[in-house]
Each structure stands twice: as C-alpha cells, then as structure tokens.
Amino acid sequence: MITQGTAFSLEQYQEEGYCGPIQGFTLEEAEQGYKRFFEAVGQSPFEPGPTDANLSAWHHDKRWAYDLATHPSIIKAMQQILGDDLVLWAMHFWYKHPGSEKYIPWHQDINYWPMEPAINATAWVSLGWSIEENGCLKVIPGTHQLAVEHVQTGDEDSAFAEGLSADQVDEAKAVALEMSPGQMAFFNEATFHGSGPNFSNIPRVAFSVRYTTPEVKFKIEEWSGDTSRIKTFLVHGEDRLHLNDAIAGLPPEERT
Ligand SMILES: O=C(O)CCC(=O)C(=O)O
C-alpha cells in the first residue's frame, strides 16, 4: 500500500533497522531524476527496456547524480543516524525493466563489503513507482542485529550470486516498501532486504546511496568487485582521521 510518507524516525531506524517510506524528494525532483536516468541509459521513458549499462557510481562524473546522492533530505536523515561528519562512498541505480524476471535475493549488505568498523546507512530513493507488482524493496524489521552467513543462490534469475538461505528468512515478517515517486527509505548495513521480479509494465527506477563516517577504513585491497566504484566524498562536517585519502573523490563540477 502506498502511504503518504512519514517523517524520518531515528527511533524506528534504531529499533527496526529501517525507516520509511518518507517523502524525501519533491515530485518534480523525482521526475527530473527519472528522465535523466533514461537519458543516461539511452532510452525513452515511454519505451523502457533492458539495459547493459553499468549503473554504479554515476555520481563520480555526473553532477546531477551527485546532486541526487547528496540531496538535503538525505543529508538531514544521515546526520541523525551517523552524526555530523558524513562520507558518501557508493551509489547504484536499481532498475527493473517491465517484465524483468531478475530478483534481488534476501541479503545483508555487509556480507559484500570490507569496511572496518561496519558502519553504513543506506538511503534508497524511488524515482518512479515502486509497488509489489514491479518488485518493490522489502525489508525484515529487527534483522539489523543479526550476522548471518550467505550461501550461493545457484539461480540465474537472482541478481546476486550470494544471498541468505530460505531457512534464515521469515518472509511472513517482510515489509513491502511500496513508494510513490520521490519517496525513500533508510536501512543499515545488516538489515535483511531484497525484492522480487517486475511482473508489471511499469519500470522500477530507484537508486541507493551509502553513507558512513570518517572513522571507517575501507580495505579496498580485499574488495572482490570493481574497486573503481568506491570513492569517498566528505559531504558534511570534517574528516580528522584521513583513513581513506587514497580513494577520496571530488564532486563533478560540470552539470552533465
Ligand atoms: O533495489 C533493490 O531491490 C535492492 C536494493 C539493495 O539491495 C540495496 O540498496 O542494497
């Protein structure tokens, strides 16, 4: 069910490991981001289809993506969660074209990330409609306290090779975060989350951004994925520790 979107609640985030949907962006901002997304993958929003484009780290060189990633409503909530010193370290667009059979298996993000200590807050922003039929984001409240081993999914429709095994996940407790354009949700590095295929004719266009604090060191040499996706941008406050200077990024200046 699409709801109005409440205010960010730190209490809910801390107790349940997530908070949302919240009306973070205006409808105009979301529509602009939606259009920019399709422009960037070379498609018309009226004829959305599969894409082979790399959907990660667009904020490194596209100013509009950087502006989405550092939107004031995201920063405001991140300040409550993480404090004043904020480091943006990753961004990914999550796109499911109409009829896409791919699903995101239940997982905990921290399983894939070598960061120490494990401190992360993710903002997941819906630029279009996210509903059950097009595979909206789902979370399982309270799972953010758990550390669970991941297994091979062995399923070609799974977007990830590793996920949580079915016996670890109580799907009856899952909350489907249906969202209208501009709504967003926050969750932490351990919260169980995933999403189903897109059985509808409505594309699901969203992005997530990952924030941490300067005390976290990225062990980039242990990363098995594409390390060029990881750069640290100090977007608020100060970095007194300089643990990640080797992978520090600068905001793109051009409005591309
Ligand atoms: O968009 C989705 O369905 C999954 C998103 C996700 O796994 C994430 O943001 O960490």
Q: Give me the residue spans of the domains in the chain.
A: 10-247
C-alpha of residue 107 to centroid of ligand 1, in Å:
9
CATH fold of 10-247, please?
A: Jelly Rolls (2.60.120)
- What residue's CA is closest to ligand 1, atom 9? 208
SS3 of 23, please? strand
- What residue's CA is closest to ligand 1, atom 4? 194
Q: What residues are in contact with ligand 1 under a 6 Å CB criterion?
A: 94, 104, 109, 122, 124, 137, 193, 195, 206, 208
Average pLDDT of span 21-26: 95
Is the pLDDT score of 81 beyond 90?
A: yes
- Name the β-bridge partners of 123: 186, 209
* Model confidence band, residue 223 (pLDDT cutoffs 50, 70, 90): confident
Pocket test for ligand 1, best of 74, 91, 124 (most atoms within 8 A of CB): 124
Largest Cα–Cα distance of the chain, in whole Å?
49
Burial, 119: exposed, middle or buried (Cβ in 10 Å; 0-12, 13-18, 19+)? middle
- What residue's CA is closest to ligand 1, atom 7? 194
- Name the β-bridge partners of 91: 209
Whole-structure pTM value: 0.96
C-alpha of residue 122 to centroid of ligand 1, in Å:
9
For residues 192 and 6, what is the distance between their CA atoms, to the nearest angstrom? 22
Of 3-7, 18-22, 211-215, least confident by mean pLDDT is 3-7
Pocket test for ligand 1, best of 122, 127, 137, 160 (most atoms within 8 A of CB): 137
pLDDT per residue as tens digits for the range 108-118: 999 989 899 99
Q: Which amino acid is at 97?
A: H
pLDDT per residue as tens digits for the range 225-240: 888 999 999 999 999 9
Instruction: Please state, rounded to an integer, the average pLDDT across all residues of the chain.
Output: 96
pLDDT at residue 255 in the model:
56
Tokens read off for 156: 């070609």
- What residue's CA is closest to ligand 1, atom 1? 94
SS3 of 250, please? coil
Residue 132 phi, psi (nearest 5): -55, -40
Closest ligand 1 atom to 107 CA: 7
